[in-house]
A and B are shown apart, each in its own frame.
Chain A
Amino acid sequence: MATVSLRQVRKAFGGVEVVHGVDLEIADGEFVVLVGPSGCGKSTILRMVAGLEDITSGEIAIDGAVVNERDPKDRDIAMVFQDYALYPHMSVAENMAFSLRYRGVGKPEIRRRVEEAASILDIAHLLARRPRELSGGQRQRVAMGRAIVRDPKVFLFDEPLSNLDAKLRVQMRTEIKRLRDRLRATTIYVTHDQVEAMTLADRIVVMQGGHIQQVGTPEEIYDTPATSFVAGFMGAPAMNLLPGAIAGGAAVLPDGTAIPLPPDAHGYEGEALVIGLRPERLGYLAPDAPTDRPVIDAPAVVVEPLGSETLVTLDLAGHALHVKVPPRSVRRPGERVRLAIAPDSVHLFDRDTGRRL
């Protein structure tokens, strides 16, 4: 187990910089998830930690020791790849034992560790098979087993679930979570899937375009997104981001609905901004129900019943507003929908910088 530090880490490919000075401190035993859209530099950062890519500038330290010049094999890390990267010409057991053989671990010890990892992952009955005789989920387990037998200082995962179908992905996510709680090892996990990030992480690092947008616990990221990008990226369905302004101590939505703000927001009077509303935090009101909260009243455009709830898209003065409402409360497009807004669930962002206000 170990800490990992990234200090002003940059990476350029042939003159084009794709990672722009990343700082990150990962504590011993912490499970950190790097999340962001495709191409934002997550894999590149992971590969730099692994030693598979050179670091253009900056420092990476594992357990306090700078490892910039160390080969991957001397960094004591294990990596799980998106395509599993199992050696096709070796059996499952050989795949798992492979790295230990090159580290001078004795045969009985190798056997013990492989069997232990296999039983943790429930793949003991597959040890004699070749990777091509396994299903996607089984390969995934073997790939994790190969990392576990190493008992490394740091685990690295690069989109380990994205080659699985939706159902298996949920199942393996639970599996990884269980494993995480059992091993309590320092882990960096890369994904573009914000649900994986929310469910697995001790801390989430949201990235965009080679920059870190925000670092925080899943709750912090969800409750107080630092930028409008984070707000829009994390959460499903995504947060509504509407253009608005502050006037008379209230945030005014495009349709004119005014949401009174706490006194500390009054300094922004007159400013153009982005107003963020989480779809699940807008309270559905029955047609005649009374309320003392600000109310949005708009026609439904799209109605998507999911059974447990219904997703409705409203037309808010030309802007789409997505909301979650109770099942069977809204049935067809054209119906008017009333929503109560809790003032503390309103997020305000600067329209130019995207920063939270």
Chain B
Amino acid sequence: MRRGFPWARHAVLVLVSAVMLLPFYWVLKTAITDENIYAYPPRLTPLDPHLFNFVDVWYLIPFPRYLLNSVIVSALAVAGNVVLNALAGYALTRHFPAKRLVLLLLLSCMLIPFQATIIPAYLISARLGVLNTHLGLALPLLSTIVCIFIYKASFEAVPKSLIDAARIDGLSEWRIIATVLLPLSKPAIATNVILAFIWSWNSFMWPLIITRDAEMQTLPLGLARFLSYLEDTTGALYAFVVMVLLPGILVFLMAQKEFIRGLTSGATKG
């Protein structure tokens, strides 16, 4: 890896990044120009850029309402994952009867696709009376098994003697999690934040099923509805897409460094 031409390596990386970034650029370009995306030959640079599409999206549909719903649901999901997964992850680092069975069950549950659980989830939500509410929208997203295991791996990397010391210092199990383990597991927290955010932000099927009013709908539903409203609206559509993507990109950029450490720490520390 260390040998060879650094500029060659850079060239390859720049090329790959360009390939990855090009679609984003194209969406952004179309959003600010109303260009026909089928035009041949395609223009690389935007001609007459403007922001009218963004304004249209904001006022033509209840975009702020969708945005608010999405933010509330994602905030609930992020808070739920960060807290609940930490508790579950800590439990899995301790010894208890039938622990192996519990681990096996959790792992096998990861194999069940969400679609297969939608009907029971709907029935449970109905019983709880949370259909068509923010809590109902967030409920199935409040905890994720993968993210529990990310916490578990991170907690296991904390020296056992620290937890012993905390116990002697007089901390309850709750406090051990909050004041010793979590501050030492920032990458795991960041990973939970990002994954929970992305999954809840992009979630489509569940909100589609559980919401009854347009008032409760989230951005992905709004996007679908928007698609059916207008005809020649590529520019506006792409503006919508940009506005949906932006918060996710911001969250990722803010937590990026810790996130990458979180994804790889389990791999290196076993």
**Which residues in B have their C-beta under 8 angstroms from that of A89?**
183-184
Closest chain B CB from A250 CB (angstroms): 54
Q: Which one of A72-80, A220-228, A343-351 is at the interface?
A: A72-80
Q: Are B170 and A103 in contact (CB under 8 A)?
A: yes
Q: Does A82 contact B (CB under 8 A)?
A: yes
Q: Does A81 contact B (CB under 8 A)?
A: yes
Contact (A73, B164) CB under 8 Å given A89-B183, A89-B184:
no
**Which residues in A have their C-beta under 8 angstroms from that of B165?**
79, 81, 85, 87
Q: Does B169 contact A (CB under 8 A)?
A: yes
Nearest to A73 among chain B residues (CB) is B170
Q: Does B37 contact A (CB under 8 A)?
A: no
**Which residues in B have their C-beta under 8 angstroms from that of A51?**
167-168
Closest chain A CB from B173 CB (angstroms): 11
Nearest to A98 among chain B residues (CB) is B169
Q: Mark A91-122, 1 if CB is under 8 A from B, else 0.
A: 00000001100110000000000000000000
Q: Mark A49-82, 1 if CB is under 8 A from B, else 0.
A: 0111000000000000000000111000111011
Nearest to A53 among chain B residues (CB) is B164
In the complex, which of the residues A72, A83, A88 contacts B168, with contact meaning CB atoms closer than 8 Å? A72
Q: Are A72 and B167 in contact (CB under 8 A)?
A: yes
Size category, B interface: 10 to 19
Contact (A102, B171) CB under 8 Å given A81-B161, A81-B164, A85-B165:
yes
Q: Does B83 contact A (CB under 8 A)?
A: no
Nearest to A71 among chain B residues (CB) is B167
CA distance A73 to B165 in the complex (A): 10
Q: Are A85 and B167 in contact (CB under 8 A)?
A: no
Q: Are A87 and B162 in contact (CB under 8 A)?
A: yes
Closest chain A CB from B9 CB (angstroms): 33
In the complex, which of the residues A52, A88, A98 contacts B164, with contact meaning CB atoms closer than 8 Å? A52
Nearest to B159 among chain A residues (CB) is A83
Q: Are A77 and B184 in contact (CB under 8 A)?
A: no
**Which residues in A have their C-beta under 8 angstroms from that of B71?**
none
Q: Are B184 and A50 in contact (CB under 8 A)?
A: no
Q: Does B180 contact A (CB under 8 A)?
A: yes
In the complex, which of the residues B164, B168, B180 contacts A87, with contact meaning CB atoms closer than 8 Å? B180
Nearest to A74 among chain B residues (CB) is B170
CA distance A71 to B171 in the complex (A): 10
Closest chain B CB from A175 CB (angstroms): 21
Q: Are A78 and B180 in contact (CB under 8 A)?
A: no
CA distance A87 to B158 in the complex (A): 10
In the complex, which of the residues B168, B171, B180, B183 contacts A77, with contact meaning CB atoms closer than 8 Å? B168
Most buried by A among B168, B169, B175, B180: B168
In the complex, which of the residues A52, A73, A88 contacts B169, with contact meaning CB atoms closer than 8 Å? A73
Contact (A78, B171) CB under 8 Å given A85-B162, A87-B180:
no
**Which residues in B have their C-beta under 8 angstroms from that of A83?**
159, 161
Nearest to B164 among chain A residues (CB) is A52
Contact (A79, B164) CB under 8 Å given A73-B169, A98-B169, A103-B170:
yes
Contact (A73, B167) CB under 8 Å given A82-B161, A85-B161:
yes
CB within 8 Å of A: which of B150-170? 159, 161-162, 164-170
Contact (A99, B161) CB under 8 Å given A87-B180, A89-B183:
no
**Which residues in B have their C-beta under 8 angstroms from that of A81?**
161, 164-165
Q: Are A79 and B180 in contact (CB under 8 A)?
A: no
Closest chain A CB from B184 CB (angstroms): 6
Nearest to B160 among chain A residues (CB) is A85
CA distance A71 to B166 in the complex (A): 12
CA distance A83 to B164 in the complex (A): 12
**Which residues in B have their C-beta under 8 angstroms from that of A52?**
164, 167-168
**Which residues in B have their C-beta under 8 angstroms from that of A85?**
159, 161-162, 164-165
* Chain B residues near A (Cβ < 8 Å): 159, 161-162, 164-171, 175, 180, 183-184
**16 A–B contacts, CB within 8 A, in A order:** A51-B168, A52-B167, A52-B168, A72-B164, A73-B167, A73-B168, A79-B164, A79-B165, A85-B162, A85-B165, A87-B165, A87-B166, A102-B170, A102-B171, A102-B175, A103-B170
* Chain A residues near B (Cβ < 8 Å): 47, 50-52, 71-73, 77-79, 81-83, 85, 87-89, 98-99, 102-103
18 additional contacts (CB under 8 A) given A52-B167, A73-B171, A99-B169: A47-B164, A51-B167, A51-B168, A52-B164, A72-B164, A72-B167, A79-B165, A81-B161, A81-B165, A83-B159, A83-B161, A85-B161, A87-B162, A87-B180, A89-B184, A98-B169, A99-B168, A99-B170
